[in-house]
Amino acid sequence: MSHSKKASIFNKDIERTTWHDETLWFVRQKRDKMAYVIPEFQQLRDLASQIKEHTLSQLDEYLLEFERNALKNGVHVHWAADAKEHNEIVLKILKKHKAKKIVKSKSMLTEECHLNPFLQQHAIKVVDTDLGERIIQLRDEAPSHIVLPAIHLKKEDVGETFHQHLNTPKGEKDPQRLTEAARQHLREKFVQADAALTGVNFAIAETGSVVVCTNEGNADLGVNLAKVHIACMGFEKIIPRFNDLSVFTRLLARSATGQPITTYTSHFTKPRPGAEMHVVIVDNGRTQQLGREDFYNSLKCIRCGACMNTCPVYRRSGGHSYNFTVPGPIGSILSPNLDLKKHSSLPFASTLCGSCTEVCPVKIDIHVQLYKWRQQIGESNALPMSKKLSMKVMSKVLASSKLFSFSGKMGRTMIKWLPYSMTHNKSVNPWAKARELPEVPEHSFREWYKQNK
Amino acid sequence: MKIALFVPCYVDQFYPNVGIATLQLLEKLGVEVDFPMEQTCCGQPMANTGFEKDSIPVYNHFVKTFTGYDYIVTPSGSCAYHVKKHYNIIEQTTAVKEVRSKTIELVSFITDVLKVKELPVTFPYKVGLHVSCHGQRGLKNATASEITPDHDGLVLSLLKNIKGIDLTVLNRNDECCGFGGSFCVSEEAVSAKMGIDRVNDHVKNGTQVLTGADMSCLMHLEGIVRREKLAMKVMHIAEILNGNKV
Ligand code: SF4
């Protein structure tokens, strides 16, 4: 189903749409406050963008440097070409350790690779430990946002889910009591876990360590209790030096949730005595994106989610309407790389207002790329022939002032003479569902000009 | 100075008064204006739909029509932005380069080229300004809330100096109206919701006259205002600056 179809279903519940919009706008405003108070915020964005630019230009070298240093630290490093390989690598590690229960924190990559269902097929139980992730896992839903995965749910929805799965009293919707219930439930899972899986926010080539930024501390809890830590990362997570990190940690939480910094910034460099640490480095279409001149810099993304919070379309259509692991503006420029046809409606799910580009902490020109993807889609077979033909006709008309004046006059005359019920028929003219057509003037400007000048 | 007036296709057909106001305003400011009859459209509609290549004949037609002028002035930030930004796919001849650099949005022409800071009009209404995204984030004619808390811009600077005017303070100063070209029909539900939310912001904060520098945004917002039968009046900035009556 296209984005617009899903979005129109989302918009059937106007009150909820308004609530969703306002909730995310609140997050955007928190971000603004935090950005405004730092005089050098724009310089930080420039710097972050340049560090990423540089890194992407020598990615192979930095990845190998990272591997060398990680190996020195006693970490196992694995390379996965795609999601399938990633999942198999993880499974192999878990099997070696006879791990049956694992806890997971902070990993959109494993969502991207659909790791959970894969492991479940192999009788391994995965528990997402971050509160939002856990809520949607219990509901068997996909995340609707990369930082706030359950942002589409109200506290009443969560209360109902917890009532069903965690035995909280029916009708309980007090966030504190619900969180406490989740906490108790998750503590048990942490203690039982055979392995801990985490994502990676930054991988530092110079030190071979990975950095995970969280607010709940679940990554630390999981990793420090279990015997095996598997950290999964897309290969664009690399940054060259330890010194570069502060530029990103200053930007990440401010852009994401309007916090000065995440509660935990955890550095994992080597395994604990008696434990094992693995890093799985994943490509899964990234090399292809890196090779696209117009789109490679989408790989600068640090997954802060700010472009979602600011996007007026995302706020009013919800993350699920994008039907892709990463929703919102950034998802709309990442997804066509993987499957142009399947995701062909996403670059059109935007007014090209450019707000995403202005908030992006690493200055990805998101709206420019949306425009460019549209051109690629226009040239491919992803759009219906009728659309292509109508564009050709339009081009002919608009390249000739005679045809233009003529068809303009025809159009105006038609709107004027046809009955209102026809020009404003909702199934023929989507414009007219919520809007009136412009009132038709007697003359066009050019007709007036000819007569009066 | 040889000035050409470019009246965007939909303004020509549906909002001739905006074209007339623009022309009269420029003439009042002592500018001699030419309206090349051959003109049609900037080509944005096809390009935004993913058919930039089909726009090439329209781009070439535009360049041919407007070659040789010192400025090509248009009452639309969006069209000016399109010419400047997206005419990069045709061969960059001298003519193309000149037309791209000389195409300018009406208000920037008034403030930056003519250096006019104030117009002798009285407008005793509560006026709500809709900042268009292409004028603001595209042409950088206004500050953006993503970057700074200070609201400022060329249109605002002219409006502020109008006698009797009372400017609406909005809850969201620069959120997109949801027009978006073909977006307004292909994503009808979201587009309408965005427009309704914008209009409501103006209603809540007392706007009597809603204005802006882009008629496309205003066409969409006016469509909602009229459907909802609101008392609010929608006027292009050129009409206010020209001293048109409400
Ligand atoms: S594209 Fe930019 S704003 Fe969007 S999630 Fe990535 S880093 Fe954040």
pLDDT tens digit sequence for B151-167: 999 999 999 999 999 99
Domain-embedded: residue A200:
yes
Contacts B191 to A, Cβ<8 Å: 351
In this prediction, residue A409 carries a pLDDT of 77
In Å, how far is B163's CA from the nearest CA of chain A? 29
A45, A168: one domain: yes
The DSSP output letter for B168 is P
Domain-embedded: residue A12:
no
Domain-embedded: residue A31:
no
Contact check, Cβ <8 Å, A433/B16: no
Percentage of residues of chain A with pLDDT beyond 70: 100
Report the alpha-carbon distance of residue A346 to residue A338 in Å, rounded.
Answer: 13
Is the beta carbon of A24 within 6 A of some atom in ligand 1?
no
Interior/surface letters B94-131, b for 16+ CB within 10 angstroms, e for the rest = eebebbbebbbbbbbbbbeeeeeeebebebebebbbbb
A110, A217: one domain: yes
Is the beta carbon of A370 within 6 A of some atom in ligand 1?
no
Chain centre to alpha carbon of residue A362: 15
The residues in A 314-343 lying below 8 A from B, measured between CB atoms, are 316-317
Distance A305 CA to ligand 1 centre (A): 5
Is the beta carbon of A362 within 6 A of some atom in ligand 1?
yes
Domain ranges of chain B: 3-113, 126-241
Q: Which pTM was predicted?
A: 0.95
Report the alpha-carbon distance of residue A347 to residue A328 in Å, rounded.
Answer: 10
| pLDDT one-digit tens code per residue, B86-116 | 999 999 999 999 999 999 999 999 999 999 9
Opening angle at CA A32, ends A30 and A33, nearest 5 = 70
Contact check, Cβ <8 Å, A446/B7: yes
Distance A234 CA to ligand 1 centre (A): 15
A266, A374: one domain: no
Is this complex scored with an ipTM above 0.85?
A: yes
The H or E element that residue B34 is part of is strand B33-34
Report the alpha-carbon distance of residue A328 to residue B129 in Å, rounded.
Answer: 28
| pLDDT one-digit tens code per residue, A255-277 | 999 999 999 999 999 999 999 99
Task: Give the total number of structural domains in chain A.
Answer: 3
| pLDDT one-digit tens code per residue, B60-88 | 999 999 999 999 999 999 999 999 999 99
Q: Which of A304, A326, A346, A367 to mutate to test the pocket of ligand 1 (most atoms within 8 A of CB)?
A: A304
Taking residues A356-380, what's their average pLDDT?
Answer: 96
Q: At A107, which amino acid appears? A: S
In this prediction, residue A421 carries a pLDDT of 78
Domain-embedded: residue A369:
yes
In this prediction, residue A432 carries a pLDDT of 87
Residue in A395, A433, A436 closest to B58 by CB: A395
A193, A230: one domain: yes
Domain-embedded: residue A372:
yes
pLDDT level of residue A399 (50, 70, 90 thresholds): confident
Q: Which of A255, A295, A367 to mutate to test the pocket of ligand 1 (most atoms within 8 A of CB)?
A: A255
Residue in B16, B172, B183 closest to A351 by CB: B183
In this prediction, residue A258 carries a pLDDT of 96
Is the beta carbon of A279 within 6 A of some atom in ligand 1?
no
Last residue of a domain, one of A236, A258, A287: A287
Domain-embedded: residue A387:
no
Q: Which phi and psi angles does B93 have, rounded to 5°?
A: -75, 170
Residue in A371, A434, A445 closest to B196 by CB: A434
Contacts A348 to B, Cβ<8 Å: 50, 182-183, 186-187
Report the alpha-carbon distance of residue A400 to residue B43 in Å, rounded.
Answer: 12
In Å, how far is A189's CA from the nearest CA of chain B? 41
pLDDT level of residue A169 (50, 70, 90 thresholds): very high
Report the alpha-carbon distance of residue A320 to residue A338 in Å, rounded.
Answer: 18
In Å, how far is A289's CA from the nearest CA of chain B? 20
Domain-embedded: residue A17:
no
In Å, how far is B165's CA from the nearest CA of chain A? 27
A49, A191: one domain: yes
Contacts A317 to B, Cβ<8 Å: 190
Q: Look-up: residue for tokens 């919800």?
A: A318
Q: Which phi and psi angles does A224 have, rounded to 5°?
A: -80, -10
A72, A179: one domain: yes
Contacts with A167 (C-beta within 8 Å, 6 or more apart), sequence order = none
Distance A32 CA to ligand 1 centre (A): 15
CB pairs under 8 A between A and B: 214
Q: Which of A79-88, A331-340, A409-418, A422-431 bottoms out in mean pLDDT, i.e. has the lowest?
A: A409-418
A437, A341: one domain: no
Last residue of a domain, one of A235, A260, A287: A287
Residue B3: CB atoms within 10 Å? 19
Contact check, Cβ <8 Å, A445/B224: no
Is the beta carbon of A334 within 6 A of some atom in ligand 1?
no
A256, A179: one domain: yes
| pLDDT one-digit tens code per residue, A105-152 | 988 999 999 999 999 999 999 999 999 999 999 999 999 999 999 999
Is the beta carbon of A305 within 6 A of some atom in ligand 1?
yes
Domain-embedded: residue A275:
yes
CATH entry, B126-241, from 2.60.40, 3.10.110, 3.40.50, 3.30.420: 3.40.50
The residues in A 248-307 lying below 8 A from B, measured between CB atoms, are none
A176, A320: one domain: no
Distance B39 CA to ligand 1 centre (A): 40
A262, A351: one domain: no
Last residue of a domain, one of A318, A348, A379: A379
Contacts A316 to B, Cβ<8 Å: 190, 193-194, 197
DSSP3 helix / strand / coil % (chain B, rounded to 5): 50, 15, 35
Is the beta carbon of A306 within 6 A of some atom in ligand 1?
yes
Contact check, Cβ <8 Å, A353/B189: no
Task: Please state the three-class secondary structure of chain A as a single string.
Answer: CCHHHHHHHHCCCHHHHHHHHHHHHHHHHHHHHHHHCCCCHHHHHHHHHHHHHHHHHCHHHHHHHHHHHHHHCCCEEEEECCHHHHHHHHHHHHHHCCCCEEEEECCHHHHHCCHHHHHHHCCCEEEECCHHHHHHHHHCCCCCCCCCCCCCCCHHHHHHHHHHHHCCCCCCCCHHHHHHHHHHHHHHHHHHCCEEEECCCEEECCCCEEEEEECCCHHHHHHHHCCEEEEEEEHHHEECCHHHHHHHHHHHHHHHHCCCCCCEEEEECCCCCCCEEEEEEECCCHHHHHCCCCCHHHHHCCCCCHHHHHCHHHHCCCHHHHCCCCCHHHHHHHHHHHCCCCCCCHHHCCCCCCHHHHHCCCCCCHHHHHHHHHHHHHHCCCCCHHHHHHHHHHHHHHCCHHHHHHHHHHHHHHHHHCCHHHHCCCCCCHHHHCCCCCCCCCCCHHHHHHHHC
B60 burial via Cβ count (<10 Å: 0-12, 13-18, 19+): middle
Query: In the predicted model, is pLDDT for residue A425 greater than 90?
Result: no
| pLDDT one-digit tens code per residue, A312-347 | 999 999 999 999 999 999 999 999 999 999 999 999
In Å, how far is A439's CA from the nearest CA of chain B? 7
Mean pLDDT of chain A: 94
Q: Which of B109, B44, B20, B112 is nearest to B71 (CA)?
A: B109
**Domain range holding A321?**
305-379
A95, A232: one domain: yes
Contact check, Cβ <8 Å, B20/A453: no
Query: In the predicted model, is pLDDT for residue A440 greater than 90?
Result: no
CATH number of the domain enclosing A192: 3.40.50.10420
A98, A237: one domain: yes
